[in-house]
């Protein structure tokens, strides 16, 4: 099941797999499906994605003009790095993902990190908090209901 923004540029793919509590979980960032199809347990992902850190660092305003400067700040500034790094599911192990709320928006920044070299383009999705809230809530509700029915 895909949970997406109207333009399809951001969202989640959540699909039950064989095995109690196992799901396929991937992100859609900047219109691209990222992550692998390996089974995951999603409790941490659903909790963390529902409670992103709110930031007010003015450097984050540069996102539209200088993605690399923002990514550099997220990587090197301890207070930003630790609060925004999302280690949320095994299927995203080959990706460095940051997520945060900033000035009424939710921002997800992703870059491939298969060998620790952070190669590839920086993918960014910015959605309003009002648009993000029902998407994450729908994904969480779906995950919870499927998980509950598989246990019963």
Give the model confidence (pLDDT) of 64-75 as tens digits.
888 888 888 998
Give the model confidence (pLDDT) of 82-113 as tens digits.
999 999 999 998 899 999 999 999 999 998 87
Q: How confident is the model at residue 122 (pLDDT cuts 50, 70, 90)?
A: confident
Task: Please report where in the chains the tokens 């997406």 appear, as a residue.
Answer: 4
Q: How confident is the model at residue 151 (pLDDT cuts 50, 70, 90)?
A: low
Q: Which domain holds residue 88?
A: 2-151
The tokens for 71 are: 């990514």
Q: Is 73 helix (H, G, I), strand (E, B) or coil?
A: helix
Report in angstroms the alpha-carbon separations of 60 from 74, 118, 135, 142: 9, 20, 23, 32
User: How many domains does one find in the chain?
Assistant: 1
State the average pLDDT over residues 58-69: 86
State the average pLDDT over residues 110-125: 80
72 or 54, higher pLDDT: 54
135 or 118, higher pLDDT: 135
């Amino acid at each position: 099941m895909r949970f997406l923004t109207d333009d399809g540029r951001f969202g989640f793919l959540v699909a039950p797999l064989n095995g109690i509590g196992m799901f396929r979980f991937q992100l859609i960032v900047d219109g691209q499906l990222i992550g692998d199809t390996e089974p995951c347990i999603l409790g941490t992902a659903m909790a963390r994605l529902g409670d992103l850190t709110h930031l007010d660092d003015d450097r984050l305003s540069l996102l539209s003009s200088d993605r690399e400067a923002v990514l550099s700040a997220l990587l090197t500034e301890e207070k930003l790095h630790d609060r925004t790094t999302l280690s949320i599911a095994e299927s995203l192990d080959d990706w460095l993902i940051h997520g945060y709320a900033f000035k009424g928006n939710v921002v997800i920044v992703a870059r491939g990190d298969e060998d620790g070299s952070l190669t590839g383009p920086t993918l960014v999705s910015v959605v309003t908090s009002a648009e993000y809230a029902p998407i994450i809530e729908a994904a969480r509700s779906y995950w919870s209901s499927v998980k509950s029915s598989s246990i019963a």
